[in-house]
Amino acid sequence: MKKVHFSIDDIIMSLRWLEHNRPSSIFDMELYGKLLEWNRKYGLKVSCYAFGNNGSDFQIESIPKLYINEIINNKDWLRFAYHGVYGNQYQNDSVLFRRELENFHNIFGQENLAHIVRLHCWQCSSQEIEYLKGSGVTTLLCPDRGTELFYDLSISECNAVRRNLKVKKGNLSYLKTNVRYDDMQDISCLKEFESSDTVVLFGHEGLFRDKVVFVEETLKYFYEEGYTFVI
């Protein structure tokens, strides 16, 4: 089976908007409404990697229960997961990391969270790795570009991931991200994945509206090529 994993990083602005504006349904919002539309058209499944706060006036526990219930009720295709401590760069604070991760468990229920996760800046400490494994995370998604080390992997392990090899370390698998919709100007780049069994596609919440046409074209392309979406 050929598979596509699709996710959106840095989710926080839409959650703040929900708390402030209180629509009848989370799917009345452009972002989540589009995801629902694509689930119905293409069988999309999506993981949303969210921060615990926006660094100023919003905490994720402020989301009304109505929307949390909608997310949980659609967990067969829509899942959230903790993305890491908010900030422009990786924040090495294992105490805060654990507290916010546990907060996600309390809000969504650990069993309802995504088990395939991409952390902010592709960084975390060895202690944070242990917290993730204890929370049911099975796979960490790795960078689509760059030369720096990521997560707890060695140079040789990082290079293996860059060669599209799936690295396993302990109970965790590490998988390269292939396509970033943030940069897309057309979908011609997708041709190189025609023989790939697994494609990892992602982008950031802040660029979703600007790239929504390319996102849909990409999802449609993989759907018509016979890929199945997974979370």
d(CA 218, CA 198): 14
Mean pLDDT value across the chain: 96
**Could you tell me the pTM of the whole model?**
0.97
Dihedral of alpha carbons 115, 161, 206, 129, sign: positive
Per-residue model confidence (pLDDT) at position 112: 98
- Position 225 pLDDT exceeds 90: yes
Per-residue pLDDT tens for 196-222?
Answer: 999 999 999 999 999 999 999 999 999
- Position 166 pLDDT exceeds 90: no
- Position 155 pLDDT exceeds 90: yes
Per-residue pLDDT tens for 53-106?
Answer: 999 999 999 999 999 999 999 999 999 999 999 999 999 999 999 999 999 999
In this prediction, residues 38-56 reach a mean pLDDT of 97
- Position 183 pLDDT exceeds 90: yes
**CATH numbers and ranges of domains, the chain:** 3-230 (3.20.110.20)
Per-residue model confidence (pLDDT) at position 14: 97
